[in-house]
A and B are shown apart, each in its own frame.
Chain A
Amino acid sequence: MISIALPKGRLGNKAYKLLEACGYTISELMDESRKLVFRNEESGVQYFLVKPTDVPVYVSYGVADLGVVGKDVLIESDADVYSLMDLGIGKCRMCVAAKEDYVEDKSRPVIVATKFPNIARDYYEKQDREIEIIKLYGSIELAPILGMSDVIVDIVETGTTLRENHLKVFEEIMPLSAQLIANKTNYKFKEGEIREVVAKLREAIQ
């Protein structure tokens, strides 16, 4: 039996479609249920539906053997897990964005609003630029509009939200997509099964 932690929401649904195509099916419909655990003895799989940022936690504690998680969440969490493959879904970019007319004032630290303080800190550290971080949990775009921050470090998918709020991308930090992660101990005890999941997924993606 392989346990897989899936993020609730769009990415989780896409990931399930991929896994379903590989034969790791469950009989119930996931999005119409309030259940959190879905199990299928026949296909030898068990899914947990968890908050996206909690996927690396369930995997690093080994209650889930595998997990599907955005690269943004994975890097931010710095979890000590295997990152076995890029699933090629949930593609977007981690960017620095600001008001369209923003000009950086180099005489003082940049004020950055973000959900991803570790990624932001790392990015500016590499450029030797001092920053102040304002950690937010949502509607990050509001921070520069109200003058609370100079820039934001956030995920950009289509750029529509930015445009509608008169913000624009100034720098791209990294491309993002969903990763298949594994617990390091469980990998050792279930190597055959996990390698099979990876092989089937590789085939399904091509």
Chain B
Amino acid sequence: MLIDTTKLQKDEQVYLEMQQLFESKGYSLYKMRRFEEYSLYLENRKFLNGENVITFNDTQGKLMAIKPDVTLSIVKNARSEKGNQKVYYRESVYRFDQSSSSFKEINQLGLEYIGEIALDDMATICYLAEQALSVIDNKFVFAISHMGIVTGIIEAMGISEENRDEVIKAIKSRNFGQLEEIGKNNGTSKSILQKIKGIFDAPTDYKEALNALKSAMFNNDIKNAVDELEKVYENISKISKGDNIRLDFTIINDIAYYNGIIFQGFVSKLPKAILSGGRYDRLIEKFNKDKGAMGFALSLSDLAAYNPTV
């Protein structure tokens, strides 16, 4: 190679190395406009976690937004007649930063697959995300979960719509005590709570966590989740060593958009997840497209000054 990527800043290194890998797996670069009509974000506010957006009027008076997100634009523009679309992007998005009370530019590297998604494709996407993490730091954790775990728990506990967020919060914060209390107030049976406790008590080692889920298959959502988690792991193991892969049920994305496999990536020197993604067929459905979709994004902005663990 002409460029010694290891001497570059981490964000550039990750981009260049991943670009090659993405293209070798059939993904092509997707370049887009910086602006998008504001209505797209207004209709999908929850997908952006209710995030604030920078808006302005264009020359025709139309209300426009400076992109806070890339996935929505890719989904909107995905042609329904075409076959599978495999794209990657490197774009800046603009989001409100709570700590500084101002807008912040975030440079993202991401990948999206829209179309018929087979088990192999899911495993490949997980593998690519795992590879991206390994380029950042060899001390990383790639944590996988499944939306069926949380929807299964909610259903089994008999939780109504209005208390759903409380349950999600308790799971996300690994707080079984809180979940138990919600269960008691909602008439959840002791045996169900006991099974859920088993999920909480297990370590995140993939096989041990999967076994804990297997002893708690109280409904179809969980059964399907276990089945898919098991198969995806088998498939990833064929292409990756998988030493740093964990199964962590506390990873949850928005129920309104995500379904199936979801994941987050962590490197030892950043306190928050650097990468996140998953299967988001529900978002595609909102655009009346009869397809599946899966992808991930990672923040290159957080990596510029990253010194990996030696």
Among A80, A81, A191, the residue within 8 A (CB) of B204 is: A191
- B250 CB contacts on chain A under 8 angstroms: 82, 184
Select from chain A the residue with minimum beta-carbon distance to B205.
Answer: A191
Interface-facing stretch out of A2-10, A83-91, A161-169: A83-91
Q: B272 in the interface, Cβ–Cβ < 8 Å?
A: yes
Q: Are A189 and B268 in contact (CB under 8 A)?
A: yes
Known contacts A185-B270, A185-B273, A188-B266: does B139 contact A85 (CB below 8 Å)? no
Given contacts A188-B266, A189-B141, contact A61 B174 (CB under 8 A): no
A183 located at the interface, meaning its Cβ lies under 8 Å from any Cβ of chain B in the complex: yes
Cβ of A195 within 8 Å of any chain B Cβ, yes or no, is: yes
CA distance A82 to B249 in the complex (A): 12
Nearest opposing residue in chain B for A126, CB measure: B162
Contact call B177/A85, Cβ cutoff below 8 A? yes
Size category of the binding interface on chain B: 20 to 34
Residue A60 at the chain B interface, CB threshold 8 Å: yes
Whether a CB of chain A sits under 8 angstroms from the CB of B178 is: yes
The CA-CA distance from A75 to B13 in the complex, in Å, is 39
- Chain A count of residues within 8 A CB distance of the other chain: 21
Interface centre among A182, A183, A184 (most CB of B within 10 A): A184
A61 contacts B271, CB within 8 Å?
yes
| Measured CA separation A80–B173 after assembly (Å) | 7
A117 on the interface (CB 8 Å rule)?
Answer: no
In the complex where A185-B266, A189-B268 touch, is A82 in contact with B139 (Cβ < 8 A)? no
Give Cα A44–Cα B273 distance, bound, in whole angstroms. Answer: 26
Which of B143, B173, B266, B268 has the most A CB atoms < 10 Å from its CB? B173
Closest chain A residue to B251, Cβ basis: A184
B150: shortest Cβ distance to chain A, in Å? 16
B11 CB–A CB distance under 8 Å = no
Judged by a CB distance under 8 angstroms, whether B83 is at the interface is: no
